[in-house]
Structure 1
Amino acid sequence: MDNVLYLSQLQHYIYCPRQFALIELEQVWQDNQFTAEGQILHEKANSGTDEKRGDVKIVRTLPLAQPELNIFGVADVVEYHTNNGETIPYPIEYKRGRPKAHRADEVQLCGQALCLEYMHACHVPEGAIFYGEKKRRHSVVFDETLRELTLNTIRACQDIIVQKITPKAHYSTNKCRNCSLKDICHPKVFSKGAKKWLLARLQDG
């Protein structure tokens, strides 16, 4: 199907729909300090082997799928907690930095939960995000609000993939400044219109 979606892309859409489209449709990517640090953190998280600690089984780099939603991905770590004979998956995603104002990381993690629920025919109530800067877990409850946001994000991403239309730029100082694609996207140019930007540059010159 044309609308296959990988879970790692959900965070890009929440951060900026145009960023998602540039990566997904136009196949552009450029690392910066933040993406490089994130890759190193993921490599450390995925470098170990599966293990068991008491009643908890720890699985690393676990392939995920929910074919009904057409979403696929890989979980950094999934802990399987056994309580009263019932085993419940607990997904853990590793991120650099600290908790964010937007919910991009939580949506990505909730997408993992949707896959685990399909794969194991169970309810996954919560998971966690480990932030490298804080060096501790941030618990995430998969309530109805987060689940609805995640499903809406999945549908929005798949619409962009099917329609093959890159959204227009909307300049945001903080987001655009920290985006690894700012030199490719040129948000200041396309948010005001390339013609207006060019005229302003000619007048300044």
Structure 2
Amino acid sequence: MVKGEADDPIMLSALQHYSYCPRQCALIHMEQVFDENVHTMRGNAVHERVDQPGLESFEGVRTEYALPVWSDRLGLIGKCDVVEFYPDGRIYPVEYKHGKKRAKVHDDLQLAAQALCLEEMLGMPVTHGAIYHHSSRRRREIVITDSLRQQVEETVKAVRSMLVSQKLPPPANDARCKECSLMEICQPQAMADKAGQSKARESLFEPD
């Protein structure tokens, strides 16, 4: 288990993982555990192109791939799949995801965190970005609202607190677990059963 320090940088991906499931985030970023399933393999395939650093220019729009980003203020580090720089000064991050076009708050959170990093690095506002859904071949535009920015800040604090505490959150044991590559490692149903058994034992000794 890797000891977390209060000033250690947090990976951008940890925010998406925590928003989806705090236990998943802890297993990956605190205990350094990972496994593959069909969803992660599809995600890796989608990212093959954008994981290669590079630069393209078309009709005045400069596109950078696998761009390293960070925020000293928030203590974040990571990379953007794609960032488009427009002639009018707009900076537009694009995050690639496998699957069909559908709203997922944890994906929006990751994109917003990228926007905050770009703002700090470049000294320019980043007001919009997009999630590119590979199966649909369509973009879903995200407005970087004040609410979303606040959610990023709160999630950073929650992730940092978890990493410093070194406490593994309880399993979700719900529909999310079916798509999680860590289900066999996490054992959500078994862990939930243990928690229930513990409560049952405690209740035996409670006074009437």
Which residue in the other structure is 1:179 paired with? 180
SS of 1:61's partner is strand
**Separation in 1 of the partners of 2:21 and 2:156?**
14
% same residue = 37
**Separation in 1 of the partners of 2:104 and 2:81?**
21
Deviation at 1:102, TM superposition (A): 3.7
Deviation at 1:194, TM superposition (A): 5.9
Q: Which digits, 9 at most, give the CA deviation of each residue in 1:7-60, with x for residues without a partner?
A: 011111011000000111111100100001101111123347311112211111
**Separation in 2 of the partners of 1:196 and 1:123?**
52
* Correspondences of 1:12-27 after superposition (within 5 Å): 12-27=17-32
**Separation in 1 of the partners of 2:140 and 2:197?**
44
Bigger shift: residues 94-103 or 12-21? 94-103
Which residue in the other structure is 2:193 paired with? 192
**Separation in 2 of the partners of 1:46 and 1:190?**
36
**Separation in 1 of the partners of 2:22 and 2:64?**
32
4+ runs of 1 displaced by more than 4 Å? none
Counterpart among 55, 68, 89 of residue 60 in structure 2: 55
1:62 counterpart letter in structure 2: L
Counterpart among 79, 87, 93 of residue 82 in structure 1: 87
- CA root-mean-square deviation: 1.9
TM-score, length-normalised on structure 2?
Answer: 0.87
Consecutive unaligned residues of structure 1, counting only runs of 5 or more, are 198-205
Counterpart among 71, 78, 95 of residue 76 in structure 2: 71
SS of 1:107's partner is helix
What is the total number of aligned residue pairs between the two structures? 194
SS of 2:80's partner is strand
**Separation in 1 of the partners of 2:118 and 2:103?**
26
Q: Given that residues 62 and 78 in structure 1 are in contact (C-alpha distance below 8 angstroms), is that contact kept between their aligned partners in structure 2?
A: yes
TM-score, length-normalised on structure 1?
Answer: 0.88
Which residue in the other structure is 2:109 paired with? 107
1:45 is aligned to 2:50 = yes
Which residue in the other structure is 2:162 paired with? 160
Consecutive unaligned residues of structure 2, counting only runs of 5 or more, are 1-5, 199-208
Q: Given that residues 14 and 102 in structure 1 are in contact (C-alpha distance below 8 angstroms), is that contact kept between their aligned partners in structure 2?
A: no
Counterpart among 151, 154, 158 of residue 153 in structure 2: 151
Q: Given that residues 97 and 131 in structure 1 are in contact (C-alpha distance below 8 angstroms), is that contact kept between their aligned partners in structure 2?
A: yes
1:123 is aligned to 2:120 = no
